[in-house]
Amino acid sequence: MVLKRLLETSEGLVKNISVTTRPPRVGEMDGRDYRFWEQKAFETEKAAGGFLESALVHAKYWYGTLKRDIDANLSQGLDVIKDIDVQGVELVRKALPYPQSVAIFMVPPSLEELRERFQKRGSEDDESLKRRLKSAEAELKRVGEYDYVVVNKDVEEAVADLAAIRQAEHLKRSRGEVAFRKAWGV
């Protein structure tokens, strides 16, 4: 919900659509929510080096980010946002170290709130819910690897936080110095 709202209110920002080998959940559409690929197609793309990052998530399904999609958007001057887990962030940061990539750890206010959100979504059976919560607890230990933390207790507040981070990153000297020096002849 937060990313959807951010994208609705932001110019020059696009969400990268990840590729996954998992089947669609109820209401998900190929090309809108994810690109749902067969395992063989994923393996072929991975072997060809076509992914910026890819990882086996929850020991069950593959997820990945196509390099060509990121490159196409960046070459148009767009900012690209992704919703990925800690494995994906680690791999993206290796391929595109800061300041090329900015990692934001978004977390609900509590583990209990996370449990309630999963249950409300209705997409997890008991086994899957236990696995997801166990993964979340392990992921929380990696918060120190991120540039920012956003606590998602209110959608509009989280959207405002993300917009502020984006604005701050655009104003950093490391991103604007070349253009500044060129414009001012210094």
- Predicted confidence (pLDDT) per residue in 28-68, tens digit: 999 999 999 999 999 999 999 999 999 998 788 999 999 99
For the entire predicted model, the pTM comes to 0.84
Instruction: Classify residue 181: in a domain, yes or no.
Output: no
Residue pair 16/65 in contact (Cβ under 8 Å)? The answer is yes
Residue pair 69/75 in contact (Cβ under 8 Å)? The answer is no
Instruction: Classify residue 179: in a domain, yes or no.
Output: no
Instruction: Classify residue 182: in a domain, yes or no.
Output: no
Residue 6 confidence class, pLDDT cut points 50, 70, 90: very high
Instruction: Classify residue 164: in a domain, yes or no.
Output: yes
What total number of domains does the chain contain? 1
- Predicted confidence (pLDDT) per residue in 105-156, tens digit: 999 999 889 888 888 877 778 888 888 888 888 999 999 999 999 999 999 9
Range of the domain at 45: 2-171
Instruction: Classify residue 22: in a domain, yes or no.
Output: yes
Rounded CA gap, 84 and 88, in Å?
A: 6
Rounded CA gap, 142 and 70, in Å?
A: 25
Instruction: Classify residue 183: in a domain, yes or no.
Output: no
Which CATH number belongs to the domain containing residue 73 in this structure? 3.40.50.300
pLDDT at 11: 96
pLDDT at 102: 96
Paired with 64 in beta bridges are: 19, 54
Please return the burial class of 178, using the count of CB atoms within 10 Å of its CB with bins 0-12, 13-18 and 19+: exposed
pLDDT at 166: 97
pLDDT at 130: 87
Which pair of structure tokens corresponds to residue 85? 């887990």
pLDDT above 90 coverage of the chain, percent: 68
Instruction: Classify residue 178: in a domain, yes or no.
Output: no
pLDDT exceeds 90 at position 100: no
Instruction: Classify residue 14: in a domain, yes or no.
Output: yes
